[in-house]
């Protein structure tokens, strides 16, 4: 046993977890989303940056604005998922660094005074947080359907502002009928890991 995490939890989070393409109509509650966030907020990032921002698409009106911005193959999934989350990177995350990284509050100005540096850091660290978010959805016993097939500029214009860059859209809920595609292959350990 090289892993200390219970095998059932390993399966729930990784081995048996899949990207869901259909969902039941069982709602995803605000309490579930809060529990997911309250777990995944502890995932590590550089300088404890917290650039991830989540827009929950719950209303029918917001869903009607979002669905046409999805790639054709993603529209039906997004139209019928119990909850849809737009995950974005806040390019002005540095304003909170003095609070979030008190060991070096000067990091805000020392490393992130220029917008290009912030955008690069926000993209990388929000992507880390997005991955934690997906695993958190699984930890809540729900399925996630993360997608990057959408009109990024359209989603930014419709739901965000110039300081927020969309990363992905995640459908969330209990998996429905025929929710999964067959498991795709993965690379073997020795195809990925080298030792120097």
- The predicted pLDDT at position 78 comes to 97
Whole-structure pTM value: 0.95
Domain ranges of the chain: 24-175
Provide the pLDDT confidence category of residue 129 given band limits of 50, 70 and 90. very high
pLDDT tens profile 8-34:
999 999 999 999 999 999 999 999 999
Residue 1: pLDDT over 80? no
Whole-number Cα distances in Å, 37 to 32, 33, 58, 137:
9, 6, 17, 9
How many angstroms separate the CA atoms of 89 and 98, rounded?
A: 19
How many angstroms separate the CA atoms of 100 and 164, rounded?
A: 19
Beta strand ranges found along the chain (DSSP E): 52-57, 83-90, 143-147, 164-173
Average pLDDT over residues 53-59: 97
> Taking the CB of residue 121, how many other CB atoms lie within 10 A of it?
21
pLDDT tens profile 74-101:
999 999 999 999 999 999 999 999 999 9
Q: Which residues contact 94 (CB under 8 A, 6 or more apart)?
A: 49, 107, 108, 112, 118
- The predicted pLDDT at position 92 comes to 97
Q: State the burial class of residue 34 (Cβ atoms within 10 Å of its Cβ: 0-12, 13-18, 19+).
A: exposed
Among the four given CATH numbers 3.20.20.140, 1.10.10.60, 3.40.109.10, 3.40.50.1980, the one describing domain 24-175: 3.40.109.10
């Amino acid at each position: 046993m090289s892993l200390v995490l219970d095998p059932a939890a390993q399966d729930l989070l990784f081995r048996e977890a899949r990207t869901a393409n259909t969902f039941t109509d069982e709602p995803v509650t605000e309490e579930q989303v809060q529990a997911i966030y309250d777990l995944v907020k502890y995932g590590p990032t550089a300088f404890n940056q917290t650039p991830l921002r989540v827009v929950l698409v719950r209303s029918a009106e917001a869903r009607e604005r979002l669905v046409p911005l999805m790639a054709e193959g993603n529209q039906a999934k997004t139209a019928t998922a119990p909850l849809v989350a737009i995950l974005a990177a806040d390019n002005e995350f540095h304003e909170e660094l003095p609070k979030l990284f008190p060991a070096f509050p000067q990091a805000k100005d020392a490393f992130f005074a220029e917008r290009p540096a912030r955008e690069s850091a926000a993209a990388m660290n929000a992507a880390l947080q997005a991955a934690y978010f997906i695993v958190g959805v699984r930890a809540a016993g729900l399925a996630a359907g993360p997608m990057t097939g959408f009109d990024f500029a359209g989603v930014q214009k419709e739901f965000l502002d110039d300081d927020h860059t969309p990363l992905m859209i995640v459908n969330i809920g209990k998996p429905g009928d025929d929710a999964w595609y067959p498991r795709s292959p993965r690379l073997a350990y020795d195809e990925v890991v080298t030792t120097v």
